[in-house]
């Protein structure tokens, strides 16, 4: 949700947005060639999700167990990996997410997830932030007095950013290259932008890393904004790959909002 406060056109965001923009494909011809080269006449599984099929293929390579699959299909196969904690096999499924409508404080927490994640984030050195949006915590938005204090602060910082950026462009006027001039001005001016400044981040991660993220950040103890993101990521991935993310359940918290739980913590 984005709203615009009319007085100074301050754009306010209160909900993250997650786009699943990339997923894997299986090269069936290459897989069939591998199976044939290894005297496997026929192997098939019951998922149409490439990431899930790749995980099962990788897992079956470990024991060359293509010939006599146990009943239960891909769901049971991945369920067993979760049960016994063979998390490394889950690293073969990879998803590309584009996340918008989140604050710089959220992405500061997000990029702490090191293993199995790749990040590309909007640069405040290259991109002009004079019309940036701000992410308002729900608890502040719900209270007129808190909202007023917050709004005044966002406006003041945006005004300061614009003034500083203009004055710094003047300071660096002797730098001939326009891009370098702007970069130097913006990297200094951004120091007055708050944690609430909206940002956009492209995230590529494998299923094991995403599960860990959902568990850590979907937990009741996590920050409210990143917990909402973790739940949005979970919902998207659950729809995309139910055998990989189907063991999670959402619970309602007494203080409002939801959290994620699973019997398979950290594979
Ligand atoms: C509720 C909450 C509160 C938090 N509070 C704070 C805070 O106050 N201050 C703060 O700084 N951070 C805080 N964090 C961040 C937290 O400490 C982690 O940095 C973050 O959650 C990423 O977790 P991770 O290291 O397990 O993930 P990843 O970096 O993705 O690593 C995944 C797993 O890989 C393994 N691993 C990764 N790197 C190594 C390594 N170098 N050596 C050995 N094993 C490795 C570990 O098993 C790790 O769990 C908080 C997180 C949460 C969820």
CB neighbours (10 Å) of residue 50? 16
Give pLDDT, residue 204. Answer: 98
Hey, which residues does 12 pair with through a beta bridge? 3, 134
Structure tokens at 119: 């990040």
Give pLDDT, residue 5. Answer: 61
Give pLDDT, residue 102. Answer: 98
The pTM is what?
Answer: 0.95
Q: Which residue of 106, 108, 109 sits with most ligand 1 atoms within 8 Å of its CB, as the best mutation to test the pocket? A: 109
CA 180/CA 166 separation, integer angstroms: 14
* Catalytic center residues: 217
CB neighbours (10 Å) of residue 25? 9
Give pLDDT, residue 131. Answer: 96
Ligand 1 atom, smallest distance to 216 CA = 53
Give pLDDT, residue 229. Answer: 98
Q: Which of 62, 120, 59, 63 is nearest to 93 (CA)?
A: 59
The pLDDT confidence band at residue 264, using thresholds 50, 70 and 90, is: confident
Q: Give ligand 1 pocket residues (Cβ under 6 A).
A: 112-115, 209, 212, 216-217, 221-222
Q: Closest Cα to atom 1, ligand 1: which residue?
A: 222
Check pLDDT > 60 for residue 7. Answer: no
Q: Closest Cα to atom 16, ligand 1: which residue?
A: 112
pLDDT digits (tens, 9 = 90+) for 190-216: 999 999 999 999 999 999 999 999 999
Give pLDDT, residue 12. Answer: 98
- Rounded to the nearest angstrom, the distance between the alpha carbon of 107 and the centre of ligand 1 is 14
Q: Closest Cα to atom 44, ligand 1: which residue?
A: 115
Ligand 1 atom, smallest distance to 117 CA = 30
- Rounded to the nearest angstrom, the distance between the alpha carbon of 200 and the centre of ligand 1 is 22
> How much of the chain is helix, strand and coil, in % rounded to 5?
50, 20, 35
Percent of the chain with pLDDT over 90: 93
The pLDDT confidence band at residue 70, using thresholds 50, 70 and 90, is: confident
Match 């992410």 to its residue by tokens.
135
- Rounded to the nearest angstrom, the distance between the alpha carbon of 112 and the centre of ligand 1 is 7
The pLDDT confidence band at residue 1, using thresholds 50, 70 and 90, is: low
**Cβ-contact 11, 2 below 8 angstroms:** yes
Check pLDDT > 80 for residue 4. Answer: no
Give pLDDT, residue 262. Answer: 93
Give, as one character, the DSSP assignment of residue 46. S
Give pLDDT, residue 42. Answer: 87
H helices present in the chain, as ranges: 28-37, 50-63, 73-84, 104-110, 138-141, 144-171, 178-189, 207-217, 224-240, 242-245
Average pLDDT, the chain: 95
**Cβ-contact 119, 235 below 8 angstroms:** no
- Rounded to the nearest angstrom, the distance between the alpha carbon of 83 and the centre of ligand 1 is 23
């Amino acid at each position: 949700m984005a709203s615009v406060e009319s007085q100074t056109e301050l754009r306010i965001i209160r909900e993250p947005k997650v786009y699943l923009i990339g997923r894997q494909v299986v090269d069936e011809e290459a897989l069939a060639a591998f199976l044939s080269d290894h005297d496997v006449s026929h192997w098939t599984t019951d998922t149409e999700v490439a990431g899930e099929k790749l995980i099962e293929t990788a897992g079956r390579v470990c024991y060359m167990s293509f010939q006599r699959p146990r009943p239960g299909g891909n769901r049971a196969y991945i369920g067993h990996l979760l049960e016994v904690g063979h998390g490394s096999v889950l690293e073969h499924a990879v998803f590309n997410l584009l996340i918008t409508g989140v604050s710089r404080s959220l992405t500061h927490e997000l990029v702490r997830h090191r293993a199995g994640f790749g990040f590309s984030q909007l640069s405040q050195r290259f991109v002009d932030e004079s019309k940036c949006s701000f992410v308002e915590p729900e608890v502040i938005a719900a209270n007129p007095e808190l909202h007023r204090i917050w709004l005044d602060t966002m406006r003041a910082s945006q005004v300061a950013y614009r003034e500083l950026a203009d004055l710094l462009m003047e300071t660096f006027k002797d730098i001939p290259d326009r891009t370098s001039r702007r970069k130097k001005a913006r990297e200094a001016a951004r120091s007055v932008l708050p944690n609430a400044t909206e940002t956009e981040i492209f995230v590529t991660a494998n299923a094991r890393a995403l599960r860990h993220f959902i568990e850590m950040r979907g937990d009741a103890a996590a920050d409210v904004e990143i917990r909402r993101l973790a739940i949005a990521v979970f919902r998207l991935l659950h729809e995309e790959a139910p055998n990989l993310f189907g063991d999670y359940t959402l619970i309602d918290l007494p203080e409002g909002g939801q959290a994620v739980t699973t019997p398979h913590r950290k594979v």
